[in-house]
A and B are shown apart, each in its own frame.
Chain A
């Protein structure tokens, strides 16, 4: 059976979340590395690439990716598994974040907040968003394909407007308010049991607040992944896949379409709501404009770059989309450095990078750059736009598809067919 991942000899094996030993080993190793990342350990520090992730900026980026991973699992359930195109993911994230802030935020004269502890507001965010999903789904069940995509996109605009109309909840347009911090309390006492956002001491480790936040979100991501993986292989998940593949046929086979679409919407929104609450709490203060269409599109990009319908693919896609702009920024900086040195290739880098106004180049590393040489800051939108287009053109199955190709090549090696 070794090396034949598609060969199953029992139903149990087919339904297993991780059917092969290779997958299990790889997963355990990956988790180990992910958990040990924030610590300054001798072995971890020697690994290439991973070495620099220890510093706060990178660990925050990684936390961001982990949180987005939870939301991406949500959109995978709705758009990847059930095939319902949704541009409203940002709306549900926003609903989650504002549920959290009403439940857990500090109240003042013009802000609503109950000041409840995290074990209430975090599940509350998921439930609030799921309720929003349930309310939306009767409208959504009647619509299909692009009509659904456009209508859910419209939700985002309505949502931002509603957030602006209720400054008591959102803190007002372009201002926002302070979201509750990540800290575990029993009730409203002063001293939290575990504070996930300040530096401190765990067991025998000194650990920074950023690392704590990262570990906490990572734990949630692992739980979310297990849930998502399990949902896909149950009766519900199979029903959703049947609806995706051919909805009329699914209905003929006795799958109640409306009910399962409602489940998909509710489940997907719950993931989104939780991720929204985490993200808001992680960033601290967000204006209502955060939950805009661009964020929704980013999730669609994650879904397609990773590989729609595959849990592992979507998670890889999340990390790719969230981290790659930062890598590009670093590369641009490095190219700028190369251009100013005096080696044979510096002329080449100089053609790409413009370091000062008037210098020819496609990318500008200068501070203010109106007009043509694009500033590095606007590169990330440009990059994910380009990535989406390129992936869909050349690799419709996304990163997961690339992995499948590599795997199939080595499976049949040395025969290339």
Chain B
């Protein structure tokens, strides 16, 4: 619930929050899309990986003070470098998961691979909960609860950070698809065996997709803990982020990068706008109704377009 002076200011404030929430979803959705493009499956462990990523950030920044030992002074530089380092660590975790649990499953039914990620989710979630639940882990976000005002509309710095991170991630991915490896990934997405026959290393593509999406999940996990979405502390709720980002990726289409961006922003805005403008009906709709808006939007869209807005329809042959 946001209290702002005028209708326009309320709208701006809600839009800023909606786009930020959408940006988080888009970041996670981008990870889903990358993995789907490479391995044709959904990584249900994304949320748990995001939690682990946030935990890594806290470990690096607070407990081990690794970047702080060599880079002196500016807290922003220290903070950003530890987030990047944590994202890299999480990417390594993604690589390990891919190598140990996903690579041996090439050629197996896609459902089995998806269920393996569900199993991984259970494992990582347990470990993550155990790490963050009992002793709160601070992320020491340098801007804290601050923000700036447009008129009377309040825009938190967290939102700006999310916009920047999302923009960088998507631009990087669009550029990546122009590179040799990116083209290889598109070929793998199109037809794994044909790509293999062309001399493309499918394993390498798998590894890149898993590493990149784990890194993205870590960044999304850290940013989602920033105020006012979170409280600056790693919370177990981060795992829910990925399950709410699933509607976004389904809405956009599982294999479309632009779909992930648009789907993410749409779902984020739908959630935040309904939370803001339907707040008067909370007694009827129930507390926390905005959190299930993404699922309802997803159901409605799928009734009309079964492969999402930008997804490629599967060609069915006998």
Contact = CB atoms under 8 A, between A and B. Distances in A.
A147 B108 contact: no
B250 A164 contact: no
Interface in B176-190: none
A384 B125 CA distance: 12
A105 to B, nearest CB: 21
Given A157-B243, A249-B318, A393 B115 contact: no
B119 A385 contact: yes
A381 B126 contact: yes
A91 B318 CA distance: 33
Nearest to A83: B111
Interface stretch (B5-13, B230-238, B269-277, B291-299): B291-299
Interface stretch (B81-89, B207-215, B300-308): B300-308
Interface residues of A, number: 50
B247 interface: yes
Interface string A352-394: 0000000000000000101110110010011011111100110
A188 interface: no
A158 B296 CA distance: 8
Interface residues of B, number: 52
Nearest to B41: A146
Interface string A217-258: 000000000000000000000000000001111001000000
Contacts, number: 145
Given A161-B289, A300-B115, A389 B303 contact: no
Given A142-B302, A150-B246, A375 B115 contact: no
- B-side interface mostly: helix
B122 interface: yes
B115 A388 contact: yes
Nearest to B114: A146
B254 interface: yes
A146 B110 contact: yes
7 contacts: A165-B286, A248-B317, A297-B121, A372-B130, A387-B119, A388-B116, A393-B105
Q: List 9 tightest A-B contacts by C-beta distance, closest first.
A: A385-B122, A388-B119, A370-B134, A165-B286, A154-B295, A385-B123, A389-B119, A385-B119, A249-B318
Interface of B: 41-42, 101, 104-105, 108, 110-116, 118-123, 125-127, 129-131, 133-135, 243, 246-247, 250, 254, 285-289, 291-292, 295-296, 298-299, 302-303, 306-307, 314, 316-318
